Structure 1
């Protein structure tokens, strides 16, 4: 079963200085943090902020290619968690046929934002990942990260800038 989630925020892990995308279950308070690379975080941040550069970024190019080939991005699915690495699948439709493409979650999320398509996470991924029931009950890896997540307010979840 797949659970629909939304991007709740983008921030920096204070202990590693790596960007984190926070996904939130649309029907509960559960949060799923996914650590991403700097370039992917920038692409996600730019789309969240509706900023654009002078030339198309890679994820803009990918969306333009799908559109140019008469395809439609249907959804992305964070499909697996193996050896502390998340995996994703981008689902597209072309000429009435469903096409699945393997992707890194960060790239899939950046593409989903541009295509305004839904984001899903496999229920098994949520069971095995360090899903945070809510910030007040966060069970993060380190006490420092746990304290940081517990102290987040709504104003913090949108302030990450690249």
Structure 2
């Protein structure tokens, strides 16, 4: 799965931060609500921004490397009571339990693949589709279809994801153009 992007939904009294994964060879997307710090960690890694001193994710990858182990991939393996469970797959064959948001941040920094179990996709995936395949203009909206892969039963968290995605504009996931400087 690829990381489509990180977005914030501003709603009183809270703000929800969401990372959206998308299938590289399909139409399914997986929205995951994450914390604001994790959102920053994912967004900065996706943008290729590095800090002068290592943050926690950089420190973990450097520590693994010093121990002679590398991160091979990340797998989202389960959706348990509205929480996505992930594993870090290491080069020594070991698997390490991780929060999905931390696993995604590590995967981006290590440039490794993110996988998602079919059962998780069946429970929580959605289809993000445009009304047509043409270029979007300002009046176009994102159309969200519920994946037929999903079970008929939705928990409240997945329903909230879908409600949030109904409000997203596809341009929210585009890289902003740098502002032009005046001469």
Instruction: Determine which structure has greater relative contact order: mean sequence separation of CA pairs < 8 Å that are 6+ residues apart, divided by chain length.
Output: 1
Contact 2:89 2:95 in 1 (8 A): yes
Listed one character per residue, the Cα deviations across residues 59-107 of structure 1 (whole Å, up to 9, x for unaligned) are 000010111111121110000001111100000013xxx0100000000
Aligned to 1:55, what secondary structure does the other structure show? coil
**Counterpart of 1:17?**
15
8 Å Cα contact 2:70-2:90 kept in structure 1: yes
- 1:1-162 correspondence runs (5 A): 5-15=1-11, 16-94=14-92, 98-129=93-124, 131-135=125-129, 136-139=143-146, 141=159, 145-149=164-168, 152-153=169-170, 155-158=171-174
Contact 1:11–1:159 (8 Å) recurs in 2: no
Count of aligned residue pairs for this structure pair:
149
- Distance, in Å, in 2 between the alignment partners of 1:144 and 1:73 is 34
Q: Which of 1 and 2 has greater Rg?
A: 2
Taking structure 2 as the reference length, the TM-score comes to 0.75
Counterparts in 2 of 1:28 and 1:39: CA distance versus 1, 3 Å = same
Instruction: State the distance in 2 between where 1:146 and 1:66 align.
Output: 36
Using the size of structure 1 for normalisation, the TM-score is: 0.84
- Looking at structure 2, the residues matched to 146 and 157 of structure 1 have their Cα atoms a distance apart, in angstroms, of 12
Q: Can you give the 5+ residue segments of structure 1 that lack an aligned partner in the other structure?
A: none
- Secondary structure, in 3 states, of the residue corresponding to 2:58? helix
Structure 2 residue runs without a partner (length 5+) = 130-142, 147-157, 177-183
CA distance in 1: counterparts of 2:89 and 2:109, whole angstroms? 14
